[in-house]
């Protein structure tokens, strides 16, 4: 959407994300690129003519080993994950002629991401060289890191305080508590630590507002909102919609998605977003401040979209 210019005439982007706690989203995320690495080799019979084969599965495994050794020599905040999406077949007596591995590379800042992706590509080339195979790659997706905007974040926090916390009832709390029985004590403790909230015994749903710029920068992932934040001043609220300790992308989270508490958190986020929108419409000076802050950051680090030209969304297979 950014590459297509969807946000070119947008003044401010106001977003929200469901969460275990309520507050202004801290502007911390990891820039990322997701790439497929395609290895092409030569098939042969693994017993009678192994010397004629060039194994792409060997190349994938060597690439993974190389990247794992690289972990010692990359920033501690960076992350690299991989999944073998095509191992070349299921027959061990055939040298695999084609194999694919998908990599997700993350880094704190866009320039750091671009450098790390280059290193991963070099390791792939090295693996191909060692196995006498060929390798090519394709960017599947990418997100920039979030750029904070202090004027917007501070004003959204003021609206949160003015509105007060989400009003859950005893039925909401009891329902959430049932899901907490399927979570570990560490899951629940980590939720509090991420948002800088003091743990409270027996609390199943958060009914406060966490501090502005809470210390959650050690527990961060990636978001497509990050790319938007480089082209338009952006602010985001997190609203409590599920039980404290619920792991992201889990069955517990999905199962709470239509609960009354989730609807209350969603409605609350909409109220805050609408309230801030009215405020911005009535205060063009605040919009100007937000735009000036973004322009200052871009003057230091120009935006380079992590999705290269020519990349289009993949078409799901039926």
Per-residue pLDDT band for 83 (boundaries 50, 70, 90) equals: very high
Residue 237: which of 12, 29, 24, 26 has the closest Cα?
24
Residue 120: which of 243, 36, 238 has the closest Cα?
36
Residue 298: CB atoms within 10 A of its CB come to 13
Per-residue pLDDT band for 261 (boundaries 50, 70, 90) equals: very high
> What gap in Å lies between CA 304 and CA 287, rounded to an integer?
24
Query: So what's the pLDDT on residue 269?
Result: 98
Residue 116: CB atoms within 10 A of its CB come to 22
> What gap in Å lies between CA 238 and CA 19, rounded to an integer?
6
Query: So what's the pLDDT on residue 312?
Result: 82
pTM of the model: 0.87
pLDDT in tens, 158-169: 999 999 999 999
pLDDT in tens, 201-235: 899 999 999 988 876 555 578 999 999 999 999 99
Q: What domains are defined for the chain? A: 13-29+146-300 (3.40.630.10), 31-143 (3.30.70.360)
Q: Judge whether 36 and 134 are in contact, CB under 8 Å.
A: no
Residue 315 has pLDDT above 80, yes or no: no
pLDDT in tens, 29-66: 999 999 999 999 999 999 999 999 999 999 999 999 99
Per-residue pLDDT band for 192 (boundaries 50, 70, 90) equals: confident
Average pLDDT across the chain, whole number: 93
> What gap in Å lies between CA 287 and CA 102, rounded to an integer?
41
């Amino acid at each position: 959407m950014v590459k297509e210019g969807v946000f070119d005439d947008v003044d401010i982007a106001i977003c929200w994300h469901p969460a275990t706690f309520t507050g202004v989203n801290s502007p911390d995320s990891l820039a990322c690129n997701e790439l497929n690495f395609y290895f092409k080799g030569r098939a042969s019979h693994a017993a009678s003519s192994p010397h004629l084969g060039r194994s792409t599965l060997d190349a994938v495994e060597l690439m993974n080993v190389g990247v794992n050794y690289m972990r010692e020599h990359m920033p501690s905040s960076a992350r690299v994950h991989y999944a073998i999406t095509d191992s070349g077949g299921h027959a061990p007596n055939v040298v695999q002629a084609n194999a694919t591995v998908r990599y997700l590379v993350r880094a704190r800042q866009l320039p750091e991401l671009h450098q790390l992706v280059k290193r991963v590509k070099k390791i792939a080339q090295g693996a191909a060289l060692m196995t006498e195979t060929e390798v090519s790659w394709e960017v599947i997706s990418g997100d920039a890191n979030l750029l904070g905007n202090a004027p917007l974040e501070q004003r959204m926090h003021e609206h949160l305080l003015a509105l007060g916390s989400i009003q859950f009832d005893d039925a909401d709390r009891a329902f959430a508590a049932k899901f907490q029985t399927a979570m570990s004590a560490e899951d629940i403790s980590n939720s509090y630590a991420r948002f800088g909230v003091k743990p409270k015994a027996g609390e199943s749903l958060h009914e406060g507002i966490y501090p502005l710029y809470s210390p959650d920068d050690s527990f961060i992932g990636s978001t497509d909102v990050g790319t938007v934040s480089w082209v338009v001043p952006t602010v985001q609220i997190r609203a409590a919609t599920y039980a404290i300790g619920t792991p992201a992308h889990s069955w517990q989270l999905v199962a709470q998605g239509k609960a009354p508490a989730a609807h209350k958190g969603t409605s609350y986020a909409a109220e805050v977003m609408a309230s801030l929108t009215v405020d911005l419409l009535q205060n063009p000076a605040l919009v100007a401040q937000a735009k000036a802050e973004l322009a200052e950051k871009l003057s230091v680090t120009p935006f380079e979209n992590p999705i290269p030209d020519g990349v289009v969304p993949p078409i799901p297979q039926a």
